[in-house]
A and B are shown apart, each in its own frame.
Chain A
């Protein structure tokens, strides 16, 4: 069931209404049943894996909790990790590794006969497996006591707002909230609805509109060079943000309606002034997951310098692989690793240059340049993320600026401009709308950067709030790109 589907618009109010009517002791069962129904609407078989992962993690955590010996606890932790990661590897990475080995063997003329597995990647597997892993590690480290109730733990793993694309909520934060009683609260519910509406706006009005152009160009990149590739890449940068952050907004809003607070997953990442800051603002629940369970486990920065660099690089490499079983994602992760390492190595030099040129005396300009540079680097990396394969990514990166001189020379010729923009596969009006809605998004984000827009909005007069609600709803209804409903990009991970 997609958030941006009619089914969800019927499903969620029904679940929320039943939740508040239902006696407290049955609420978890109601949410658990709803979550499995939600998941099984996509594919009934997927639920089996979810059950397996839930049972493995639940049982190993329980025995870890009663075990007195550290070695035994480690044994149970490894059992949980191996089985969960093994499941992820089998369903997500087997064909990737197999295909890569086949290519390698073919290159060296070695016979390789292991066949491809004809399996579908269960949607959301990366998200719920990571939730399960963090729970096991937390129980092993003693930061979380094992959950005794199977229903509560199963609900933590499968809770429908977060099941398909996060946020990857920690058990220490979510499980205690699942057991509390929440009453119907008008202010909390309107706040949740506002967040959901903003999420729907970002998804159906912006992301799905931009997707039409991005898909048109990226699905046939060899037919393009120069400006159309630049525009499509710029649009993908915004599309993936709107797509993914909208899912988080809808999920967090839905949870809020049910009384549960979720942590922020996106904090206006394209306003970052450095790559380090970008990763503190983008997909925060995943970045902190990697920090707490991988980076720190590798030794973090409390090791020799070269090991620290290696640790950082490994985290980004794994992050790339987490996003998808394809070399394009590996390259995307490596590129971010290189960005970060280069950023560390060149920091002193960049500071010296900034001081020497006097730009530090103009903080607005200096910050603006930093934001533009970070945005450009992130956008460039997204090429690898979006391209269908490495060859296409190579083509796009090497043809990004082709014909730019000609474009600039002819930029006043309307027929020429029309022929270039006409390559994007949408009408002029659609293109204007796309830029207009990007403007709306950026304005709201700019305001958010300096003020808490939720608090400011809630103290405005009723007429202002209702007018805003009407405009937002009208935009979603009449300007949403419903004709070609797009799945959320992060579902594939």
Chain B
């Protein structure tokens, strides 16, 4: 039995050391026991590896009653910029490459830990698809409930090693995708990414039901629920027709109109027709145009948005 115990301890030792290293580095700030690693180093590494886990941990430490949900388009709404115009604190709970399923799960997570007041969900037609249902949020939420899962999460382990590498080499580790010219990337987004979204479209029955539950909950709890359909370039808007999805898009609009206030920027207008307003067909340039959208959405300034309100 002695041999067995000694071998068991020797076998477990490397794993225990690794777990100790993760607890000390704590790339996502889960335990917050040791403060040796500056938070900016952690964020520059861990955040890009797992947006959902980073934001879930960050939000749970400092919950906010006003949240923004959605994908990379919605992520452009910097809370400090909104505060500048409205004097209200917001937490941006959007994820790059986010899906509607993730937004819904994030909503329930936030609603569980705080009393919400304002919820803005960025949702474009390409997200309103049964097959666009990736989910990184469930994993993050399971980790929130079980610290052991944090210790064995691949993103956490990877981030810990990258931080160690950064500390020894002094160079931050790049997680950026290989460079691609703007023109080529534009074409890629238009022809390849759009095809991924629209080629196999299916009406998202379960996601609509989930949105319905969120709408009813907000109605019951007097939470302001707003849907934002952010602008995309007209060349991308035309893809909806090219794939024969006009009826599905119409249904998407009418579904949202039945659930809450909708700000629709995504239709042919002088803004969406001007290619220089966009980095690529999906993303407007935030530095130049974010204020414009904030004024329209939060201050009621008339502009490009078609506004549909439940109470109209």
Pick the residue among A184, A477, A482, A484 that contacts B15 (CB under 8 A).
A477
Q: Are B192 and A415 closer than 8 Å at their CB atoms?
A: yes
Q: How far is the CA of A431 from the CA of B197 in the complex (A)?
A: 18
Q: With A426-B134, A483-B142 in contact, do A478 and B152 touch (Cβ < 8 Å)?
A: yes
B201-219 interface with A by 8 A CB criterion = 202, 205-206
In whole Å, how far is A418's beta carbon from the nearest beta carbon of chain B? 5
Assess whether A223 is interfacial by the CB under 8 Å rule: yes
Q: How far is the CA of A444 from the CA of B192 in the complex (A)?
A: 38
How big is the A interface, by class? Answer: 20 to 34
In whole Å, how far is B152's beta carbon from the nearest beta carbon of chain A? 4
Q: Cβ of A190: which chain B residues have Cβ within 8 Å of it?
A: 4
Q: Are B200 and A422 closer than 8 Å at their CB atoms?
A: yes
Q: Cβ of A470: which chain B residues have Cβ within 8 Å of it?
A: 11, 14
Q: Cβ of A415: which chain B residues have Cβ within 8 Å of it?
A: 191-193, 195-196, 199
Q: Are B138 and A478 closer than 8 Å at their CB atoms?
A: no
In whole Å, how far is B124's beta carbon from the nearest beta carbon of chain A? 17
Q: What total of chain B residues lie within 8 Å of the partner, measured CB to CB?
A: 34
Pick the residue among A223, A473, A479, A483 that contacts B131 (CB under 8 A).
A223
Q: Are A422 and B191 closer than 8 Å at their CB atoms?
A: no
Q: With A223-B202, A419-B199 in contact, do A482 and B11 touch (Cβ < 8 Å)?
A: no
Q: How far is the CA of A477 from the CA of B205 in the complex (A)?
A: 35
Decide if the interface of chain A is mainly helix, strand, loop or mixed.
helix
Q: How far is the CA of A20 from the CA of B195 in the complex (A)?
A: 63
Assess whether B249 is interfacial by the CB under 8 Å rule: no
Q: How far is the CA of A37 from the CA of B153 in the complex (A)?
A: 31
Q: Are B191 and A477 closer than 8 Å at their CB atoms?
A: no
Q: Are A425 and B134 closer than 8 Å at their CB atoms?
A: yes
In the complex, what residue of chain B is closest to A417 when comparing beta carbons?
B196
Q: Are A6 and B148 closer than 8 Å at their CB atoms?
A: yes
Q: Are B11 and A469 closer than 8 Å at their CB atoms?
A: yes
Q: Are B4 and A466 closer than 8 Å at their CB atoms?
A: no
Assess whether B258 is interfacial by the CB under 8 Å rule: no
Q: Are A420 and B200 closer than 8 Å at their CB atoms?
A: yes
Q: Cβ of B193: which chain A residues have Cβ within 8 Å of it?
A: 415
Q: Are B142 and A482 closer than 8 Å at their CB atoms?
A: yes
Assess whether A220 is interfacial by the CB under 8 Å rule: yes
Q: Cβ of A469: which chain B residues have Cβ within 8 Å of it?
A: 11
Q: Are B149 and A483 closer than 8 Å at their CB atoms?
A: yes
Assess whether B130 is interfacial by the CB under 8 Å rule: yes
Q: Are B202 and A484 closer than 8 Å at their CB atoms?
A: no
Q: Are A422 and B4 closer than 8 Å at their CB atoms?
A: no
Assess whether B311 is interfacial by the CB under 8 Å rule: no
Q: How far is the CA of A466 from the CA of B15 in the complex (A)?
A: 13
Q: Are A416 and B152 closer than 8 Å at their CB atoms?
A: no
B1-58 interface with A by 8 A CB criterion = 1, 3-4, 11, 14-15
A-B contacts, 7 of them at CB < 8 A, read: A20-B1, A216-B133, A223-B131, A416-B195, A469-B11, A470-B11, A484-B142
